[in-house]
Each structure stands twice: as structure tokens, then as C-alpha cells.
Structure 1
């Protein structure tokens, strides 16, 4: 009779072993992609910085102030890109770990949300690269005072790029976050509409904090966040609409 339920220690150990297995698979995916990208690290860095190089004055180049930065910065870029490319694997491993504890209805709702989260993150990064970066760099180049040589350091350029990619990648998750809140019944679409004014102010404040200190990148982040919030309200309203019986 006492052997019906497994000991709590064995159950906990099983979860820990499963977690370790999922973490190892995620790390292995990142490592494999990273190793494959190392030979192309310099080309990747050149490609990522091409929007900046396009607006620099003729004959101007980026500079490396630190002694080892010409070696380490492209390697860091390759690792960052490896994490981005391996993101679907990482999210799947996290999903596979928690999925056994979900009901079937929760699984059906979670799968498309995870897929949408991955797609929106990549869309945000693409938006940052093709629209935001050229616009911001052109703005900064145009505001450089006369007599000032604008020669950015490659380490600071990397920090700048990482902030933009992460800021826009995560901000484009707004519809998913809103839909999750609606599905969990934390808020209703009506309450989200009532809070629209506060959200607009909040996204502009947030954009001013997490983006580089220029008004262009702030606007280019805040406006999409607001529009994505509206999209999240619309999707949340559709999902929360009761289905017709019969």
C-alpha cells in the first residue's frame, strides 16, 4: 500500500535530471552554432556594422582602443548571433520541460504563443537592423559638430548594437505578453483599452530608458510598441470571446 506513490526525493531528482538534460541540449545547440560561426566572425561584425559604416565620412574607419578588442569583439558578436539563431531550440527545450505539467488545452494555447514569440523576436531584430540602425546612425552623423571627427570605438559600437537588438526584439513581444495576460484573466481587453493612455506614456518613458540617448531611436521603439499593444488587445479580445455552443 505504501509503494503506490513514488518518494518525493525520487520525483524531485527526476525533475532535476530532466532540467539538466534540457539545459545541456540548449547549451550544446548554442555551442555548435557558435563554433560554426567563428570562421565568419569578422564578416558578421562587418555586416552588422554596415549601417554605421555607410554614414561615416569618406576615409573614416572604426577604431579599436583596447589592445585585444579587434580579436574579442568579433568573437562576442559570433556568440550573440549564435544565441539568436539557437533561440528556437532554447525555447523548445524550455517548453519540453514544462509541457508534461500542462493540461492539453493549455498546450494547445501555448504552442502558437511560443511560435509567435519566436517570430516576433526575429521581426523586432530585423526591424532594428534594416530601419532603426540606418535612421539612427544617419541622425547621429548629421548632428556631429564641425571640427569633430566621429570615429566610434568597436567595443562601444557592439554595446550599442546589442542594446538595439535586444530592445526591439523584446519589445516586439508585446502582443504575446498582452494575450497571455488576457488568457490568464489577469486583465480584460476592456481594461487594457482603458489603460491605453498610461501605456502610451509608459512605452515612451521605457523607450527613453532602454534605447541609446537620441530621440529618433526612442520614437522608433515607442511607436511600434504602442501599435503592438493595440494588436495584442485585438488578439486578446478574439481569444477571450466565448465560443458559440452548438
Structure 2
């Protein structure tokens, strides 16, 4: 048996690291290009994101900036995050291009659509938060302010608040992908998930309570989509049940 030289074993590792570096650079370049195209409209973008709150503020009130540099840096921060969001399909493509060569053919057929639909679901979660949850939540918050209290939200605090909710809803909408992956890897089965449905219902409302503002409307409006998405993932999970070793070997031979 011929002895493998250290130089030969190190060569593939260096090759993978070089490819990883190149793909990371391409991802950063994509985000930078989008950012440069959007930075001129940073204030307009912030105005659009703040509209669910500003349109519901009491007459004569407005948002404020408590720091000197906040009016400049807050829209820039939002534009950077938006650039990452918009570049997400390309970022996922780069991640897919890096891991795909190490996958079997049947794994590629399963993961490729998951990568696409994960981006679609993430965008769907963000859109749901902006168009459905924010109007109801901010209407609730502005209507329960004690008498004599003037609502004047800091623009930086508002951005941090909505970004947390964007990420929360975006990740929550990935439930079908998580369900499919759990069944595909053999961690669980559709039958086992169906048996645990009552616990999942309770967990959805608990997560909704933790991730949303402290009102029953926002909590319910996150929990119900999570449950519907779980049922959707459960429906399709039967196509992603882990194969036995013999079946995998046979499919690879074919």
C-alpha cells in the first residue's frame, strides 16, 4: 500500500479553503454592489419601513433622534441589512455551490429545492410582518398610551425593534424546511410529528409570545401561520423520509 504524503493530503484542504474564500468574497461583493445602488435612497427606505408606525402616531407627534449621528447612521444601517436580504438568493447560491460537490446525486435533488424555497419563505415572513403584524401591533401600542404621555419613538430604537421582528418572522416561516430536514435526516418521522401535534400547538403560542410584542393579537398572528406552515411541512415530509442504506446505495448505482 502506497503511503499518502502530507503534501497530497493537505492539497484538497487548501483547495477547499481557497474556494470558500472566493465564494465569501463574491457574496460580500454582491452585498456591496446592492448597497451602493440603494444607499442614495437610504432615507426613503427608512421612511417606507417606518410608515406602519408614523401613520398611526397621534396628530402632532413624530419620531425623534436622540443622538447627533443617529439620523445619518440609522438609515445606513437599514440599507445594509436590506442589501443582505436582497442578496439572500445569491448568498444561498454560493453556499449551495460550495457544498454541492460533496453531496450524492439524490441529496442534490432534495436540497436544491429546499435552498430555493427557504429564501421564498424568509421573504414571505418579512412581508407578513410588515403588512399584517406591524399595522395591528402599532395600532395597539399607540392606543394604550397613558393619558398625558406623548409618543415619540427614537428612530434607532424603532429600527432595532422591527429588525428583530423581521428576523423572528423570517425564521419562523422556515418551519416547513426544518420539518422536512428533520424527516430527511431520520431525526424523526411524519407519524411521530403528528403524535406530538398538541405539544407543537402549545409551543407555537409560547414562541409567538416570546418573539412578538406583549399583546394577544401579535402572538396569535405569529402562532397561527407557524401552525399552518408546520402542517404544510408535515404534508410534504413524506417525500423526504430518510432512505435506508440499501436504498441509497441502489440509487447511487443507478
TM normalised by structure 2 equals 0.90
- 2:240, 2:165 → 1: CA distance? 31
Q: Is the 8 A contact 1:64 1:70 kept in 2?
A: yes
Identify the residue that residue 172 of structure 1 maps to in structure 2: 173
Structure 1: stretches of 5+ with no match in the other structure: none
- 2:165, 2:216 → 1: CA distance? 14
Q: Give the 5 Å matches for 1:156-195.
A: 156-195=157-196
* Deviating 4+ runs (over 6 angstroms): 3-6
Q: Secondary structure at the match of 1:192?
A: helix
Pairing 1:78–2:79 present: yes
How far does residue 168 in structure 1 lie from its aligned partner after superposition? Answer: 0.6
- 1:30, 1:85 → 2: CA distance? 8
Tell me which moved more, 168-177 or 206-215: 206-215
How far does residue 237 in structure 1 lie from its aligned partner after superposition? Answer: 2.3
Pairing 1:50–2:51 present: yes
Tell me which moved more, 197-206 or 1-10: 1-10
> How large is the RMSD of aligned CA atoms in angstroms?
1.8
Identify the residue that residue 232 of structure 1 maps to in structure 2: 233
Identify the residue that residue 147 of structure 2 maps to in structure 1: 146
For residues 188-246 of structure 1, the C-alpha deviation after alignment (integer angstroms, 9 at most, x for no partner) is 1110011111111212222222223333222211111111111111111244499xxxx
Identify the residue that residue 24 of structure 1 maps to in structure 2: 25
Q: Secondary structure at the match of 2:64?
A: coil
Q: Is the 8 A contact 2:183 2:242 kept in 1?
A: no
How far does residue 76 in structure 1 lie from its aligned partner after superposition? Answer: 0.4
Q: Is the 8 A contact 1:160 1:212 kept in 2?
A: no
TM normalised by structure 1 equals 0.93
Identify the residue that residue 126 of structure 2 maps to in structure 1: 125
